[in-house]
A and B are shown apart, each in its own frame.
Chain A
């Protein structure tokens, strides 16, 4: 009996696999033909764009450790696009008005899943891939996007590689300022103070940390600002107390804390003050949210906490009467809150990104991906909603992201306010 049972089970299971495989083929080919149908609408048009619609896609981490920023990178964008759709749609450079649909998928910060999602979106007839969050996931998609000539634009990733080489990757562009842009902005603030300042640095031991340090080091070169001690940590570390204790011994005036992990950044703020070391602190833009980092970390104890910013914080009382913020809040409550439960700055950033897309649509003369890229690369001096005064979108710079400058803001105990020098 046994000798009979095994082969039968094996064959049935194998057959089951075959059926599954066929099922997948069947399902997806259906959607594939739908995508082809849209294509047939206008002969010269790229896939995913008709006379009345254009479909965009995004794959971000919607589950797992990076879910907060990941869901916000979708929610803000969706809010802008849907609000604009509800108001009639986007006016395009070819004289037509189109509704924009956004399809979003979860990659859980896994590069293989991001590639699968990208291919799925292309298969479903996506016109352009926009605003995806994550360095490894976008790095995995980049070669495929450029090979297939699908726009992979306005990425929510601060690594320099997405904006550095436009000749090699003409279909890829970044949105948020690169890490080194942020580091350089802080270096400049210290240099402008024109006095001897000592700095201690704590940086994540990868290109995230080195991006900040490179920008900072380049900015303070030849000035009176001196780095007296530095330490690194691994993103997988559960505590940075040792590093903070080491840096505290230097008694530096300023701490540059290029830490990307929220609990660790809280640990930096609590540990340094428990040692009696209260330098002025510089935090990166993605770990400087008052509610999740500064208040738990007791940041009010420090003479000054700076962070780079390029967008308004919608929750801040300072912007309560700002028309941009009011419009954002209205759209977000309607179209964003179902996607994310937590606020990170990425919600506001991706909202502004939606406006940049609108600006590109307005100047794109043909319904093609080439025309879209040309339009997107030609935006300069554009004031997107929610951007801080003085910050504009400039996509014409060869080696910079769409937002290539930042303002520094200072923590005042409840929110952020503009900095008036060191």
Chain B
């Protein structure tokens, strides 16, 4: 490898390229592409929340769609009742956080499958409740809004403006979460995930840590719900549905658990694969998506995020056989195998 290609410079160059692409993309592409990329940002945030609780803290959550749905409904209700956008955003994060915390206070006493069952209840209860509270939620016809139009001093189309707003908020959420999982909280998550007894002996309460992880996940889920409404301009009980939760878990595993980049890749998968499958054969999208899922898990058990590492390993294996860390060794940040055993079993 040439000397000027140090890791630091490569990284800086990559970040610069991505930044330029992210800024220029909406200006040169069609509204459809902008919509799709913005949707990716929305689901990247939802997956990030799921990653906090499942990837970093190792607790099974099958109810993320409920928090996305609550966030979307709060944003929709706020918009229809003329709340300031900022207030909508804050409440869209806070209400799911409170719901998530209340559930976690009870559920975090459980482990493994029992915990998973409690989290399943959220979307299953949430969908009919959303239909019943039709004064607030618009019943099964949902809430249609028309908001987040560009202010008059900005010469941007709707889709471009929404793209920038959503991507900016998503970047902010990612940055905050990155700092969080790399700090003291992140370390306590990792210990609770790996061994609760050790955590306890170090003075870390597994119970409080799990409640915190769930609360954070639901807060981030709520934020993504707000963004969902900004993009789709519509929400209905379908947003909360259990199927969405499962698809989110699948996308997270595909992207790579316990990884920020994995959340982004998972979102790309979540949005892109149905589109590609639809272009191949619209009658068999479920089949094709399933095939892609199996393929990715067979070839890359660590998720898409492990692809560069796998390639890197293959390229450098010969030269640095003595120096490299063993393949798959956890480095505390990313690329830990999907669904570690303590994530599903007590």
Enumerate chain A interface residues (CB-CB to B < 8 A): 1-2, 4-18, 20-22, 24-25, 28-29, 32, 62-64, 71, 104-106, 108-113, 115-117, 119-120, 122-123, 135-136, 139-140, 142-144, 147, 159, 161, 205-208, 234-236, 338-339
Contacts and interface: CB of A to CB of B under 8 A. Distances in A.
A140 B144 contact: yes
B236 A139 contact: yes
Contacts of B142: 111, 136, 139-140
B312 interface: yes
A104 B37 CA distance: 22
B261 interface: yes
28 contacts: A4-B7, A5-B309, A8-B11, A10-B261, A10-B334, A11-B14, A13-B264, A24-B272, A28-B33, A32-B30, A62-B285, A104-B282, A106-B286, A111-B142, A111-B239, A112-B232, A112-B239, A115-B35, A120-B32, A136-B141, A139-B144, A139-B234, A140-B233, A143-B234, A207-B140, A234-B131, A236-B127, A236-B128
B30 to A, nearest CB: 5
A112 B141 contact: no
B248 to A, nearest CB: 12
A102 B149 CA distance: 32
The CB with the most chain B CB atoms within 10 A, among A10, A139, A143, A144, is that of: A10
Contacts of A142: 144
A207 B325 contact: no
Contacts of B331: 2, 5-6
Contacts of B265: 13, 16-17
Given A123-B32, A136-B238, A159-B141, A339 B283 contact: yes
A8 B37 CA distance: 24
A379 to B, nearest CB: 27
B110 interface: no
Contacts of A234: 128, 131
Contacts of A7: 7-8, 10-11
A13 B269 CA distance: 14
A365 B261 CA distance: 54
B261 A140 contact: no
Interface stretch (B15-23, B79-87, B190-198, B293-301): B15-23
B99 interface: no
Nearest to B238: A136
B312 to A, nearest CB: 7
B114 interface: no
Contacts of A135: 140-141
Contacts of B22: 21
Interface of B: 7-8, 10-11, 13-15, 17-18, 21-22, 25, 28-33, 35-37, 39, 124, 127-128, 131-132, 134, 139-142, 144, 146, 228, 231-239, 243-244, 261, 264-265, 268, 271-272, 274-275, 277-278, 282-286, 304-305, 307-309, 311-312, 323-325, 331, 333-335
The CB with the most chain B CB atoms within 10 A, among A22, A25, A135, is that of: A25
A91 to B, nearest CB: 29
Contact of A111 (B10, B127, B238, B311): B238
A4 B301 CA distance: 23
Given A6-B331, A139-B236, 7 more contacts: A11-B13, A106-B274, A120-B275, A136-B140, A139-B144, A147-B146, A159-B141
A13 B256 CA distance: 11
Nearest to B262: A13
B32 A17 contact: no
Contacts of A143: 144, 146, 233-234
B285 A12 contact: no
A135 B11 CA distance: 47
A349 to B, nearest CB: 19
B278 to A, nearest CB: 5
Contacts of B14: 11-12, 14-15, 18
A25 B39 contact: no
B140 A108 contact: no
Nearest to B127: A236
A131 B97 CA distance: 40
Nearest to A75: B283
Contacts of A104: 282
Given A115-B234, A123-B30, A135-B141, A22 B21 contact: yes
B33 A24 contact: yes
A108 B7 contact: no
A147 B139 CA distance: 24
A9 B334 contact: yes
Contact of A117 (B11, B278, B283): B278
B312 A9 contact: yes
Given A24-B272, A105-B278, A117-B278, A9 B234 contact: no
A20 B304 CA distance: 13
The CB with the most chain B CB atoms within 10 A, among A6, A9, A208, is that of: A9
